[in-house]
Amino acid sequence: MTVYDFYLFDRNGNCLYYAEWNRRKQPGISKDEEFKLMYGMIFSIKSFINRISPKDVQDGFLNFRTSKYKLHFYETPSGLKLVMNTDLNVGNVRDVLQHVFSSLYVEHVVKNPLTELGETITSELFRSKMDEYVRGLPFFAPKAS
Amino acid sequence: MADEVPFEFLHMELVAHIHNTSTKEENDTCIAKLESLGYRVGLSLIERFTKDCSRFKDELDMMKFICKDFWNLVYKKQIDNLRTNHQGVYVLQDNKFRFLTQLSNGKQYMEAAPKYLAFPCGLIRGALCSLGINCIVTAEVSAMPACKFQIQIQRL
Amino acid sequence: MSRQAARTGDPRKVNGELFTLTYGALVAQLMKDYENDDEVNKQLEKMGYNIGVRIIEDFLARANSGRCNDFRDVADVISKVAFKMYLGITPVVSNWSPAGDEFSLLLENNPLTDFVELPEGHDSLNYSNILCGVLKGALEMIQMDVDVKFVQDHLKGDNITEVRLKFIKRLEDAVPVGED
Residue pLDDT, tens place only, C5-56:
344 455 556 667 899 999 999 999 999 989 899 999 999 999 999 999 999 9
- Indicate the helix (H) or strand (E) that contains C152: strand C144-152
Please give the residue range of the domain that contains residue C164: 14-170
Please give the residue range of the domain that contains residue A46: 3-135
Q: Are A85 and A4 in contact (CB under 8 A)?
A: yes
**Average pLDDT in the C71-96 region?**
95
**Average pLDDT in the A111-136 region?**
95
- How many structural domains does chain C have? 1
Summary mean pLDDT of chain C: 89
**Which of chain C's residues have a Cβ under 8 Å away from the Cβ of B61?**
none
Which of C19, C43, C88 is nearest residue B7 as measured by Cβ atoms? C19
Of the pLDDT bands very low, low, confident and very high (cuts 50, 70, 90), residue C4 is very low
**Average pLDDT in the B125-150 region?**
95
What three-state secondary structure class fits A115? coil
Within-domain flag for A111: yes
| Count of helices and strands (H, E) across chain B | 6, 4
- How many structural domains does chain A have? 1
Within-domain flag for A143: no
Of the pLDDT bands very low, low, confident and very high (cuts 50, 70, 90), residue B16 is very high
Within-domain flag for C38: yes
**Whether A36 and C53 lie within 8 Å, measured CB to CB:** no
Residue B120: cis peptide before it, omega within 30 degrees of 0: no
What does DSSP assign to residue C172? P
Per-residue pLDDT tens digits for A73-115: 999 999 999 999 999 999 999 999 999 999 999 999 999 999 9
Within-domain flag for C179: no
Residue B78 CB burial class (10 angstroms; 0-12, 13-18, ≥19): middle
The CATH number covering residue A10 comes to 3.30.450.70
- Indicate the helix (H) or strand (E) that contains C163: strand C161-170
- Which of C28, C41, C54 minimizes the C-alpha distance to C141? C54
Which of B1, B49, B65 is nearest residue C19 as measured by Cβ atoms? B1
**Which of chain B's residues have a Cβ under 8 Å away from the Cβ of A128?**
105
**Which of chain C's residues have a Cβ under 8 Å away from the Cβ of A105?**
57
pLDDT at C9: 53
- Which of A101, C18, B90 minimizes the C-alpha distance to A110? A101
Which range, of A28-37, C4-13, C15-24, C88-97, averages the lowest pLDDT? C4-13
**Whether C179 and A44 lie within 8 Å, measured CB to CB:** yes
B95/B34 Cα distance (integer angstroms):
23
ipTM entry: 0.92
**Which of chain C's residues have a Cβ under 8 Å away from the Cβ of B16?**
50
The CATH number covering residue C30 comes to 3.30.1380.20
**Average pLDDT in the A5-20 region?**
95
C152/C154 Cα distance (integer angstroms):
7
Per-residue pLDDT tens digits for B34-76: 999 999 999 999 887 765 555 788 899 999 999 998 999 899 9
The Cα-based distances of B118 to A22, B37, B73, B125, B127 in angstroms read 44, 9, 18, 11, 14
- Which of B23, B132, B3 minimizes the C-alpha distance to C82? B3
Domain segments of chain B as ranges: 4-153
C-alpha of A21 from chain center? 13
Within-domain flag for C34: yes
Beta bridge partners of C118: none
Of the pLDDT bands very low, low, confident and very high (cuts 50, 70, 90), residue B20 is confident
Within-domain flag for C25: yes
Per-residue pLDDT tens digits for B70-108: 999 899 999 999 999 999 999 999 999 999 999 999 999
Strand ranges of the sheet holding C144-152, from the earlier edge strand across to the other edge:
C92-94, C102-107, C161-170, C144-152
Beta bridge partners of B135: B153
Within-domain flag for C175: no
Summary mean pLDDT of chain B: 91
C111/C22 Cα distance (integer angstroms):
12
Q: How many other CB atoms sit within 10 Å of the CB of residue A27?
A: 11
Domain B4-153 fold: Muramoyl-pentapeptide Carboxypeptidase; domain 2 (3.30.1380)
Of the pLDDT bands very low, low, confident and very high (cuts 50, 70, 90), residue A27 is confident
Smallest CA–CA separation between C87 and chain B, in Å?
A: 5
Q: How many other CB atoms sit within 10 Å of the CB of residue A58?
A: 7
- Touching check for B105 and chain A: CB below 8 Å? yes
Taking an 8 Å Cβ-Cβ cutoff, which residues of chain C contact chain A?
Answer: 53-54, 56-58, 60-62, 67, 141-143, 173-179
